[in-house]
Amino acid sequence: MSITNESELAGMQRISEAVAYTLREMTQYAQPGMTTKELDEFGARILAGYGAKSAPFLTYGFPGWTCISVDNEFCHGIPTEHRILKEGDLINIDVSAELDGYWADNGGSFVIGKDIHGHKKLVDASKDILDKAINSIRGGVKIADIGYLMETEAKKKGLKVIKNLGGHGVGRSLHEEPDELLNYRNRFDTRRFKKNSVVAIETFISTTSNLAVELNDGWTMVGNKGGYMAQHEHTIIITDGKPVILTQMNEILN
């Protein structure tokens, strides 16, 4: 969507606070021995406290309130009482929701407890790349140039990007134009970011895979060549200068 008045701005600020606070609290709440279903239900209670409704459930009938992916699961992981978090697990939580007709999206990857498997390097790389991408986005900048920046930064760190996942416009629904804000340069994409538009910008940084493939459960995605992936995502408003980060409260880049 494009922000055209104070009412729309206020609406986006409210839903962005809801998803950002939920993500932050879920990240702090997660610990070894907990099931992903317990963690999901904790997040669901926070969203409900805001009066917000789960976007993946509303939009796609997703079997959970938030997406929680662990270790080799790249994204869209289904919360379950059978998945128990362990020390050193790489976990991704993606929280998106609707409130009063406005939608926002955010997510972050982190390590549970001590980094005994060495996942922190991947997590930190994803954070750094998102930070650089956001600070390079403004009205008039080519979408493909931000994708090029992301892939270039990943390669510098000895990592890859997932080429069939990307950020997207957001605001009046979960996925809007501009869609496919990819993590690499699509030379056929001549679109530019537009001032006052709202987008969910996100990284998909991988150790070995360059594509995400869906498992038989119809939701969970893993890498075509295995390995691990980190994702970080903010909902932002594009300006003539640095974007306004609506989901700043989630503290994912700290």
41's enclosing H/E stretch is: helix 36-50
Tokens of 123: 């997590």
Q: Does 175 appear as a known binding residue?
A: yes
Q: Does 105 appear as a known binding residue?
A: yes
Tokens of 124: 């930190």
Which amino acid appears at position 19 of this protein?
V
Q: Does 76 appear as a known binding residue?
A: yes
Q: What is the dihedral of CA 178, 8, 21, 173, to 10 degrees?
A: -40
Q: Does 234 appear as a known binding residue?
A: no
Among 29, 100, 101, residue whose Cα is nearest residue 66: 29
Cα gap 165→186, rounded to integer Å: 13
Cα gap 162→157, rounded to integer Å: 15
Q: Does 233 appear as a known binding residue?
A: yes
* Binding-site entries: 76, 94, 105, 168, 175, 202, 233
> Which residues sit in the known binding site for a divalent metal cation?
94, 105, 168, 202, 233
List binding-site positions for substrate.
76, 175
